[in-house]
Amino acid sequence: MALRALWLLRHDPGAGGAVLFSRRYPTVEIRAETFNGSTHVPVPSDSAFLKALLFELRLIDDHIFVEHRDTCTRINHSSVYSVRTEGGDLWPVLAFQKSGLIYACLPLVEETLEPRPPLLTVSGLSQGLALLLGIVDYISPSRKNEAEMSAKIGQLRNLLIQACPLGTPLNTNIRSLNSSFDDIQEMPTDENQPAWRSNTYKGKPQVNVCITEKVKCMQYDKRDVVDMWQVYGAVNCKCDIEGSAPNVTLTLNLPTNGPPLQDIVVHHCVTSIDPAMLMSSSAEPLDDSVYNGPYKFPFIPPSDSFNLCYYTSQVPVPPILGCYQLIEEGSQLKITVNLKLHESVKNSFEYCEAHIPFFNRGPITQLEYKVSYGQLDLSREKSLLVWVIGQKFPKSLEVSLTGNVSFGTAGKEHPTDYVCSGNTAYVKLCFRIPDFTLTGCYVDQHSIQIFVPGKPKITASRELISSNYYIWNSKAPAPMVYKTLFD
C-alpha cells in the first residue's frame, strides 16, 4: 500500500496548466518495476504528465474526438484514469478537480498490469484518495488567498515526510501535522498505538458522527434522453476517547427496501471488514444477491476528524423533479420552470434555490415574471436569476415560475460558456436538507460500541446536499456530461 508519485496541479482555461507541487518515491518505483515486470510504465516528467492528464480529463483539446479517450465504450465510473504517455499507458492514476486545482497520485500495483486487476484489489487507491482528500482539506481554506496558498504548498514537502514517509500514507490528516521539524512529536512509546493517533485525549469520551450525502443530477424532460442521478455519501467521525489504541465499532443501517450502499471505500484505520461490503459496484446491475447491510466498521480512530468511509448508491428517483423550457419570442426569451418535490423526501430545507444563468448574452434589461411560491432575485451582474424557494415546498409539493426576459448588449464582463450556446441552458438547484439522507442511511447511536471506561456522549447527524444538480432546457440540445464529479 504505497504511492509511486503525487501531484498538485492547476488548470486555467486561459493560461493553461501548471505543476504546483510534485513528489516521487524512487524506492516505490523500484518495487513497481519488480511487481509489474514487462508491463511496467515509468512515471514521466512533470511537464509531460501535466499535458497528458489535462488531455485525459478533456481540459485541453476537448473539441477534438480522440477514439481512445472519447469513445462511448470508455465511460469512467470512477476517478481512476489511464493516462497515455510516451512510455505507455500509465495506470491507475487517481485524479480529481476541486476549486480550480487538480489532485493526483499514482498508487503502486503489486502485480502485473496486464490484464488489469480489479480496482478493489488495488489497496493503494483508498489510501491515495484519503491522502489527497487530506491535502484538499489542508489547501482549500486558503484558496482565495494566493499568498497563503503558496505558503501552504511550500510546506507540503515537510508535511508529507511525516504523512507519507517513503511513499506509504500513515496520517492523512495533513492539517494536524506540524510543518516545522523542530516540533515533530516523537513516535509513541506504546507499541499498540497506531501512527495515525498523534496524541492521547484526556477527558469524557465523546463521539460525533455525520453522514453527508450529495446528489448529482442531470434532467432533460425528453423522451429520447434518459435522466441521470447519482448519490455519493461520506461518513465523518470525530472520536475524543482516552487510550493509545481505543477500539470503536460503528454500524450503518438502511431502512427496509432501502437501496444498498456500493463502491465502499474505507479509511485505513478500519481494522477488519466483511468482504461482501466491498464487492457491490455501481458499474454492475443490482440484483437480490447484493449485500444490503448492516454495515459494520470496527476501527481505531485517529485523533482528529476523519472520513470513516465513502459510498455511492443507486436511488430510484431524484429528490426534486424539474422541467425547464426556454424559447425565443421576438427579442425576448420566454422561460418556464416547474419543480416538484418527491413525496418521499423530507420537506424541510435549510435553503432551497434555483439558479437560472444566462450565458453569452448582455445584461438583463427587462424582466416580467410570476412565481407560485418563493421570491425571484436578480444578481448584481444582471446575468443570473435566483429563485429563492425557501425552507419548505407548499402542500402540493409543486412550484412554478414563468417570465419574459430581455437583454442589452453583451460586454467582456458578462459570463460566457461554450456549452450553453444558443438556447442550450440550464437551471441549477442548490439545497440542503438536514437530518435526512436520500438512501435512508443512518447511524443507530445505541449500536456504537466503544471499549473504554465511562459512558460516552454520542452525537449522530445526517444531511443531503445538492451537487451539480442540473435541469436542462427541454426545447434545445443538451450535453450528456457537464462539469466534473468533484466540482
- Which pLDDT score, from 0 to 100, does residue 142 have? 63
Asked which of 216-220, 382-386, 399-403, 476-480 is least confident by mean pLDDT, the reply is 476-480
Q: Are residues 360 and 256 in the same domain?
A: no
189 vs 447, which has greater pLDDT? 447
- Which pLDDT score, from 0 to 100, does residue 183 have? 46
Is pLDDT at 80 greater than 70 in this prediction?
Answer: yes
Q: Are residues 173 and 39 in the same domain?
A: yes
- Work out the pLDDT band at 185, boundaries 50, 70, 90: very low
Q: Are residues 292 and 330 in the same domain?
A: no
Does the CA dihedral 444-203-310-290 come out positive or negative? negative
- Which pLDDT score, from 0 to 100, does residue 293 have? 77
Mean pLDDT across 72-95: 82
Mean pLDDT across 302-314: 91
Is pLDDT at 447 greater than 90 in this prediction?
Answer: no
CATH of residue 371: 2.60.40.1170
Whole-structure pTM value:
0.66
- Which pLDDT score, from 0 to 100, does residue 190 have? 63
- Which pLDDT score, from 0 to 100, does residue 198 have? 66
Asked whether 101 and 486 are in contact (CB, 8 A), the reply is: no
- Work out the pLDDT band at 61, boundaries 50, 70, 90: low
Instruction: Name the residue among 159, 171, 32, 24 with its Cα closest to residue 105.
Output: 24
Q: Are residues 430 and 446 in the same domain?
A: no
Tell me the percentage of the chain whose pLDDT exceeds 90: 56
Mean pLDDT across 284-298: 78
Cα→Cα distances 455→122, 129, 241, 270, Å: 39, 34, 11, 23
Q: Are residues 84 and 121 in the same domain?
A: yes
Sheet strands (E) in 63-200: 80-85, 88-98, 101-107
Q: Where among 160, 178, 196 does a domain terminate?
A: 178
Mean pLDDT across 351-363: 93
Mean pLDDT across 424-441: 96
How many independent structural domains does the chain possess? Answer: 3
Task: Provide the phi-psi class of 68: left if phi over 0, else alpha when psi is between -120 and 50, else beta.
Answer: alpha
What is the SS3 string spanning 316-356? CCCCEEEEEEEEEECCEEEEEEEEEECCCCCCCCCEEEEEE
Asked whether 37 and 10 are in contact (CB, 8 A), the reply is: no
| 93 assigned to some structural domain | yes
Is pLDDT at 318 greater than 90 in this prediction?
Answer: yes
Please report, as a single letter, which amino acid is at residue 218: M
- Work out the pLDDT band at 443, boundaries 50, 70, 90: very high
Mean pLDDT across 398-403: 96
pLDDT tens, position by position, 97-156: 988 899 999 999 999 999 899 888 888 898 899 999 999 989 886 666 788 888 889 999
Q: Are residues 251 and 375 in the same domain?
A: no
Asked which of 63-67, 159-163, 176-180 is least confident by mean pLDDT, the reply is 63-67
180 vs 19, which has greater pLDDT? 19
Mean pLDDT across 22-41: 94
Q: Are residues 235 and 144 in the same domain?
A: no
Q: Are residues 145 and 280 in the same domain?
A: no
169-183, 218-232, 473-487 — most confident range = 218-232
| 199 assigned to some structural domain | no
Q: Are residues 173 and 61 in the same domain?
A: yes
| 454 assigned to some structural domain | yes
Q: Are residues 225 and 128 in the same domain?
A: no
389 vs 55, which has greater pLDDT? 389
Mean pLDDT across 355-376: 94
| 114 assigned to some structural domain | yes
Q: Where among 390, 418, 435 does a domain terminate?
A: 435
- Which pLDDT score, from 0 to 100, does residue 144 have? 66
| 268 assigned to some structural domain | yes
Taking the C-alpha atoms of residue 300 and residue 26, their distance in angstroms, rounded to an integer, is: 31
- Which pLDDT score, from 0 to 100, does residue 187 have? 46
Asked which of 181-185, 201-205, 314-318, 478-482 is least confident by mean pLDDT, the reply is 181-185
Give the domain extent around 103.
2-178
- Which pLDDT score, from 0 to 100, does residue 280 have? 79
| 125 assigned to some structural domain | yes
- Which pLDDT score, from 0 to 100, does residue 320 have? 97
SS3 369: strand
Mean pLDDT across 459-475: 95
Mean pLDDT across 41-48: 94
- Which pLDDT score, from 0 to 100, does residue 192 have? 73
Other CB atoms within 10 Å distance of the CB of residue 25? 23
Mean pLDDT, the chain, as a whole number? 87
Is pLDDT at 75 greater than 60 in this prediction?
Answer: no
Is pLDDT at 26 greater than 60 in this prediction?
Answer: yes
Q: Are residues 304 and 159 in the same domain?
A: no
| 325 assigned to some structural domain | yes
- Which pLDDT score, from 0 to 100, does residue 188 have? 46
- Work out the pLDDT band at 213, boundaries 50, 70, 90: very high
Residues in Cβ contact with 438 at an 8 Å cutoff, skipping those fewer than 6 apart = 213, 215, 231, 313, 315, 319, 345, 464
| 480 assigned to some structural domain | no
Q: Where among 159, 178, 197 does a domain terminate?
A: 178
Taking the C-alpha atoms of residue 238 and residue 459, their distance in angstroms, rounded to an integer, is: 10
- Work out the pLDDT band at 17, boundaries 50, 70, 90: confident
- Work out the pLDDT band at 470, boundaries 50, 70, 90: very high
Q: Are residues 343 and 310 in the same domain?
A: no
